[in-house]
Amino acid sequence: MSNQRKIILVETNQALRRYVEQLLRPYDVLVASYSDRWRAFRRIKRRREFDAVLIDKDLAGIGVLRTLFANMLRDLDQRMEFVVLVETPETLDSRPFDDNGFKHLLEKSDIPRRLPGMLRQLIGIKKRKGARRRRGASARSRAATAVC
């Protein structure tokens, strides 16, 4: 998995799209807009080298596309580690897609708080802890209070 290219498909609102692209800057991010959805579907089916797909619920919820998209997600899930459906504020009022096996990961209020960690987990970035944390005056004061 480590030698695969990380391609994330994002179809969402402008602000969240920019935020996601900024978070995933070192990775190859494939962005498909609503108007390019058919091209995006073909690209997803053709490509085998990506690890994750990040998809706005709005893209999955377009009437006739719903079943097609759900089947494709199931198909993708067999060869990828993660398939993630991101719910954006505009699309939260539509009906749930649990019957099609979608993973609902974000609530409207959770988007700013949970998205960075979720994306890092998705693409395998671990938070660095250890030596960096123990340096400085605050670390010494923490050690002093622990001794008392």
Establish if 2 belongs to a structural domain: no
- Reference 25, options 89, 121, 120, 127; nearest CA is 120
Domain that holds residue 33: 7-147
- Measured distance CA(121)–CA(32) in Å, rounded: 22
Establish if 13 belongs to a structural domain: yes
Establish if 1 belongs to a structural domain: no
- Measured distance CA(6)–CA(14) in Å, rounded: 21
Please tell me the total count of domains within the chain: 1
Establish if 49 belongs to a structural domain: yes
Confidence grade of residue 3 (pLDDT, cut at 50, 70, 90): very low
Domain with residue 49: its CATH number is: 3.40.50.2300
Q: 33, 73 in Cβ contact below 8 A? A: no
pLDDT value, residue 23: 60
pLDDT value, residue 56: 54
Establish if 40 belongs to a structural domain: yes
Establish if 65 belongs to a structural domain: yes
Residue-by-residue DSSP string for 66-112: HHHHHHHHHHHHHHSSEEEEEPPGGGTTSPP-GGGT--B---GGGHH
- List pLDDT tens digits, range 61-105: 444 444 554 555 555 555 444 444 444 444 444 444 444 334 444
Mean pLDDT score of the chain = 51
